[in-house]
């Protein structure tokens, strides 16, 4: 088992990565305030993993309230959140109840927001079961739901007490979802860990073949990167750089997800196409070479990810991007690359270059 810590003073927590962790109630038990959990999952993940975890918890004397939501990004909304609150109230869950998220990023974001808000906040544990959630969404405390006008527009920062990432659960993950998670793994190489980018190029075939050791290493290295960034700028308030850098490709990508309708493109797919736009814009600004762009495109393609954006039209992209959470006083701040492995926040990209980038990246 690999173990690392997210250092946030009294809110620090461990991230455990390894096989067979999904039913390790003994690891969870010390993190519970009271022996009671609400176990939130969905109709796809619950039949695979919920019984094993619920039974293991019950054997240790923990009361388990299951909450099974419909599956999909289209359900990351108020209706699902209300379903969670309804069950919590109907079963008299109190402030000592821990909410445990068992699933991918959608379940983690929903359950985390429920934990942040139910009775003004209850303890929360993440048991992520997709590559994307194991390398990104389960770590760092961003929780929330989508609004029809914009991705993740309603939410809260609420850190988990523990992240338990079972790499064995990735064996049942569809290929398309594994690839989607790879977009966020590649992100860490691009924004701050060039040696990791090289490692990913050398090991992409083994990762896609689901070699457990390689996946364990990629998840650990991703979480080390994420934990360092979050520890330095938990609430994303740094004026330059900071946590916002984790959003490489996301401003363009969120526009694709919202513009196409939630669930049409997977989050990781939209991030991959959005990253190609950020990379292309960086080239137009003279910060990357054509060779750099080709290198990133080749890796995305080997990972099974789209490199061409959705054809929404540049004006629609700009309208959707104007809702981005990184907008300050109407000014769009983008995450761009000044060389591979070196991300920056940049507020002065000329509008015509952004338009040209979108047009080029949706046409290619």
Binding residues for ligand GLY, total number by CB under 6 A: 6
> What residues are paired with 40 via a beta bridge?
67, 101
Residue 234 DSSP SS3: coil
Binder of residue 243, out of ligand NAD, ligand GLY, none (CB less than 5 to 8 A by kind): ligand GLY
Residue 288, CA atoms < 13 Å, CB-side half-sphere: 28
**DSSP string computed for 130-197:** SHHIIIIITSS-EEEEEETTEEEEEEEE---SEEEEEGGGGGGS-HHHHHHHHHHHHHHHHHH-HHHH
254 as an active site residue: the answer is yes
Minimum CB distance to ligand GLY smaller for 253 or for 306: 253
Q: Which of the following is catalytic: 247, 257, 269, 333?
A: 247
Minimum CB distance to ligand GLY smaller for 142 or for 161: 142
Binder of residue 103, out of ligand NAD, ligand GLY, none (CB less than 5 to 8 A by kind): ligand NAD
Q: Give me the least distance between CB of 245 and ligand GLY, in Å please.
A: 9
Q: Is 206 left (phi over 0), alpha (psi -120 to 50) or beta?
A: alpha
Query: Under a CB-based contact definition with an 8 Å cutoff, are residues 68 and 39 in contact?
Result: no
342 as an active site residue: the answer is no
240 as an active site residue: the answer is yes
| Range 271-330, binding ligand GLY (CB under 6 A) | none
Minimum CB distance to ligand GLY smaller for 23 or for 234: 234
Binder of residue 73, out of ligand NAD, ligand GLY, none (CB less than 5 to 8 A by kind): ligand NAD
Minimum CB distance to ligand GLY smaller for 143 or for 169: 143
The Cβ of residue 108 has, within 10 Å, a number of other Cβ atoms equal to 29
| Range 245-264, binding ligand GLY (CB under 6 A) | 246-247
Binder of residue 36, out of ligand GLY, ligand NAD, none (CB less than 5 to 8 A by kind): none
- Residue closest to ligand NAD (Cβ): 105
175-to-18, 134, 184, 213, 217 alpha-carbon distances in Å: 20, 16, 15, 18, 19
How far, in whole angstroms, is CA 16 from its chain's centroid? Answer: 17
Tokens of 124: 């929360």
257 as an active site residue: the answer is no
220 as an active site residue: the answer is no
Quick note: the x/- pattern for ligand GLY over 132-151, rule CB under 6 A, is ----x---x-x---------
Residue 200 DSSP SS3: helix
Tokens of 282: 């960086």
Query: Under a CB-based contact definition with an 8 Å cutoff, are residues 359 and 314 in contact?
Result: yes
Question: Which residues sit at the interface with ligand NAD, rule CB under 6 A?
Answer: 42, 44-45, 48, 71, 73, 76, 103-107, 109, 129-130, 132-133, 136-137, 140, 142, 152, 169, 172-173, 177, 180, 267-268
- Residue closest to ligand GLY (Cβ): 246
250 as an active site residue: the answer is yes
Query: Under a CB-based contact definition with an 8 Å cutoff, are residues 187 and 137 in contact?
Result: no
* Catalytic residue list: 120, 142, 184, 226, 240, 243, 247, 250, 254, 267
């Amino acid at each position: 088992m690999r173990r690392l810590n997210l250092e946030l003073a009294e809110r620090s927590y461990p991230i455990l990565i390894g096989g067979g962790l999904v039913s390790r109630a003994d690891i969870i038990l010390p993190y519970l305030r009271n022996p009671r959990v609400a176990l939130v999952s969905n109709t796809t993940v619950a039949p695979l993993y919920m019984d094993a975890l619920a039974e293991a918890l019950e054997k240790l004397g923990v009361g388990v309230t299951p909450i099974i939501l419909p599956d999909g990004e289209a359900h990351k909304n108020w209706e699902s959140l209300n379903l969670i609150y309804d069950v919590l109230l109907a079963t008299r869950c109190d402030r000592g109840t821990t909410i445990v998220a068992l699933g991918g990023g959608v379940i983690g974001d929903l359950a985390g927001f429920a934990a942040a808000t139910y009775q003004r906040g209850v303890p929360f544990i993440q048991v992520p079961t997709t590559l994307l959630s194991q390398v990104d969404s389960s770590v760092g405390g961003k929780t929330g739901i989508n609004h029809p006008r914009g991705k993740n527009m309603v939410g809260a920062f609420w850190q988990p007490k523990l992240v338990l990432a079972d790499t064995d659960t990735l064996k049942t993950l569809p290929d398309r979802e594994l690839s989607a998670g790879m977009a966020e793994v590649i992100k860490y190489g691009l924004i701050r860990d060039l040696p990791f980018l090289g490692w990913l190029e050398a090991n992409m075939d083994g990762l896609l073949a689901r070699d457990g050791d390689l996946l364990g290493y990629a998840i650990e290295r991703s979480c080390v990167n994420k934990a360092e960034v979050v520890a330095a700028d938990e609430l994303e308030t740094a004026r330059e750089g900071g946590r916002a850098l984790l959003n490489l490709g996301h401003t363009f990508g969120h526009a694709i997800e919202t513009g196409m309708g939630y669930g049409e493109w997977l989050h990781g797919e939209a991030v991959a196409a959005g990253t190609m736009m950020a990379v292309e814009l960086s080239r137009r600004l003279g910060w990357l070479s054509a060779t750099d762009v080709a290198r990133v495109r080749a890796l995305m393609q080997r990972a099974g990810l789209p490199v061409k954006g959705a054809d929404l039209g540049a004006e629609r992209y700009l309208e959707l991007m104007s809702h981005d959470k990184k907008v300050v006083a109407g000014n769009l701040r983008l995450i761009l690359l000044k060389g591979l492995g070196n991300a920056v926040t940049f507020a002065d990209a000329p509008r015509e270059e952004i338009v040209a980038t979108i047009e080029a990246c949706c046409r290619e």
